[in-house]
Structures are given as structure tokens and as C-alpha cells.
Structure 1
Amino acid sequence: MDRQEILDLYEWQPGVCFRHPAKGTVATAVVGTIHPREAGERDVHACEECVLTMEDIRREEAGRSGGGYEPGHLGEVLQE
């Protein structure tokens, strides 16, 4: 899959990337959820650059472990 095909697997909305807050509001996708003790549940947003980086990491980990990889599932546990 090329870059745009991977990005198209996610739903994008304006938000602040968890790794690049200095960028301000940019297109982001929800890539996980955290549960802060006093704040309930909060979505973790990532910009396009971070989504692609995280997908690359997942693909490489799946290749090393012999597990399957399918893009578009950041925030989910990899199946072995």
C-alpha cells in the first residue's frame, strides 16, 4: 500500500497531535484511548506523519515476529 492508501484507512478530523502539539490544530486520526485517573477517557490523536511512522513500526514488528500485519488498526493489539 502506498502512503495515501494507508491514510485513507483512517477517519480524519481537526485536532492536536500527541507527539507534535506545537503544530497546533492539524488533521488527526484517533490512534488510541487513554484513561487518566481523574479525567475519564480521552482519545489520542496523531497527525499524518505520526500515523505513517506508527504503521511502519507495526509492519516491522509483525515481520520480525512472523505475525500478520494489516494497516488501519493503530491502537489495537497485534495478533500473534
Structure 2
Amino acid sequence: MDPQHILDLYEWAPAVCFRHPELGEVPTAVVGVVHPAADGEREVRGCRDCVIAMEDIRREAAARSGSEYTPGHVGDAHH
């Protein structure tokens, strides 16, 4: 699948990428949620490059395990 088609599966908003904070605010998508003890729930957001890298990892893991790979689910606990 074309990288742009994968990126189109996500909702994007300006924020700081968890791996690239030096870039400042860039288009990001939710890639996870953390639950700090003192702060309830916080979204972890990734830039386009990180989302594509995480999708590549998911696709490779699915291929190794014989599972079906469905793009667009980085950050979903059940995928």
C-alpha cells in the first residue's frame, strides 16, 4: 500500500512528535496512550515518518506470525 494511503487513514493535528520533539509542532497522529499516575490519560503522538515506520513494524510482525495486516491501527490496543 502506498505510504500516502496509509497516512490518509489517520486523523492529523499539529502537536509535538514523541520521537522528534526538536521539530516543534508538526502534523501528528495518535500512536498510543499513556496513563501517568498524576495525570490521568495522555495521548502519544507521532509524525508522518514515525507513523510509517510503526506501520512497517506492524506489517512485518503480521507477516512473521501469519496474521492479517490491516493498516491504520497504530495506537489501537486491540490491533
TM-score bracket, normalised by the shorter chain, equals over 0.9
Moved over 2 A (4+): none
Task: Give the superposition deviation at 1:75.
Answer: 1.4
Please report the TM-score for the alignment, with normalisation by the length of structure 2. Answer: 0.95
Counterparts of 2:3 and 2:75, CA distance in 1:
19
Are 1:51 and 2:59 counterparts?
no
Please report the TM-score for the alignment, with normalisation by the length of structure 1. Answer: 0.94
User: What is the number of equivalent residue pairs in this alignment?
Assistant: 78
Give the SS at the match of 2:70: coil
Can you give the 5+ residue segments of structure 2 that lack an aligned partner in the other structure? none
- Percent identical: 63
Counterparts of 2:10 and 2:16, CA distance in 1:
16
Counterparts of 2:24 and 2:42, CA distance in 1:
18
